[in-house]
């Protein structure tokens, strides 16, 4: 069981993710350079946080055309698990694997703090071990994390039970307090908080472990 961590020019949480999955959780992990197309042998792929391609134009707008993401589309279509964290979430929405878009924070500040989250849906493997209604805290660090979508899309998310996580105290103005969503089947999760920064009791707690363990559960 091996996890791939995509490395775009400008990614800066790729090593954090590998430290968490390999160092803290003992899961075999390898990097995927953005020009790579071969995803064979991988059980899950993580799109890490950072500023892919400098976030030029819009967050994730250029990354969407990376060769590795062409392969990721077929990987996801065949049910492979995909986790997008922060900038990775932005890339997933630009790519169309998840609906909506991430926009500038309501108060324009880059927010870097721990935030309390509540589990909305525990039907997917990502949060099945925590249970809906459960609350935990994860770090956030973003300037453009305000989840935005049309009313129709929001209704679709609710109908699909695809809202995974909500902020207990909305820090950025996201529609419906959304912090993370899945696709309808539940194989793809995108979230703004950083679970990889909460995998060791000495550096931010261990609340993020469950989400990363779900990569290969």
Partner 1 sequence: MGHRRSDADQRASFNLHFVERKRSPGLPRFNNCRSEPVPRYQARVLVHLRPSVLDPAGEAARAAASRLGVDGVEKLRIGKAVEVELEASDETEARRNLELLSDRLLANPVIENWTLELTQS
Q: Catalytic amino acids? A: 86, 194, 196
Over the window 74 to 93, marking each residue x when it contacts partner 1 by CB under 8 A and - when it does not, the resulting string is: -------------------x
- Structure tokens of 75? 């990987």
Q: Please, what is the minimum distance in Å from the beta carbon of residue 160 to partner 1? A: 17
Residue appearing with tokens 């589990």? 119
Stretch that binds partner 1, among 26-34, 39-47, 141-149, 194-202 (CB under 8 A): 141-149
- Structure tokens of 3? 């996890």
- Structure tokens of 18? 């590998």
Residue appearing with tokens 């989250």? 117
**Residue 156 engages partner 1 in binding (rule: CB under 8 A):** no
From candidates 22, 25, 43, 104, binder to partner 1 by CB under 8 A: 104
Residues in a beta bridge with 166: 118, 178
**Residue 101 engages partner 1 in binding (rule: CB under 8 A):** yes
**Residue 173 engages partner 1 in binding (rule: CB under 8 A):** yes
Contact 145, 111 (CB under 8 A): yes
Alpha-carbon separation of residue 62 from 105, 183, 201 (angstroms): 21, 22, 36
Please give the residue ranges that form the binding site for partner 1 (CB under 8 A): 57-58, 61, 65, 93-94, 99-101, 103-108, 146, 148-150, 173
């Amino acid at each position: 069981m091996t996890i791939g961590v995509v490395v775009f020019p400008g990614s800066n949480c790729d090593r954090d993710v590998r430290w968490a999955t390999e160092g803290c959780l003992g899961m075999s992990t390898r990097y995927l350079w953005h020009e790579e197309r071969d995803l064979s042998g991988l059980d899950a792929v993580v799109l890490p946080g950072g500023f892919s391609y400098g976030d030029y134009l819009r967050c994730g707008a250029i990354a969407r055309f990376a060769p590795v993401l062409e392969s990721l589309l077929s990987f996801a279509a065949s049910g492979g698990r995909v986790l997008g964290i922060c900038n990775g979430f932005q890339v997933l929405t630009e790519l169309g694997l998840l609906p909506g878009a991430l926009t500038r924070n309501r108060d324009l500040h880059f927010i870097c703090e721990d935030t309390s989250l509540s589990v909305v849906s525990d039907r997917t493997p990502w949060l099945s071990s925590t249970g809906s209604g459960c609350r935990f805290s994860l770090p956030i660090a973003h300037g453009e994390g305000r989840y935005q979508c049309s009313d129709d899309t929001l209704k679709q998310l609710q109908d699909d039970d695809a809202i995974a996580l909500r902020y207990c105290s909305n820090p950025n103005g996201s529609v419906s307090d959304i912090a993370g969503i899945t696709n309808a089947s539940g194989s793809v999760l995108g979230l703004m908080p950083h679970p990889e920064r909460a995998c060791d009791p000495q550096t931010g707690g261990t609340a993020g472990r469950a989400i990363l363990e779900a990569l290969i559960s």
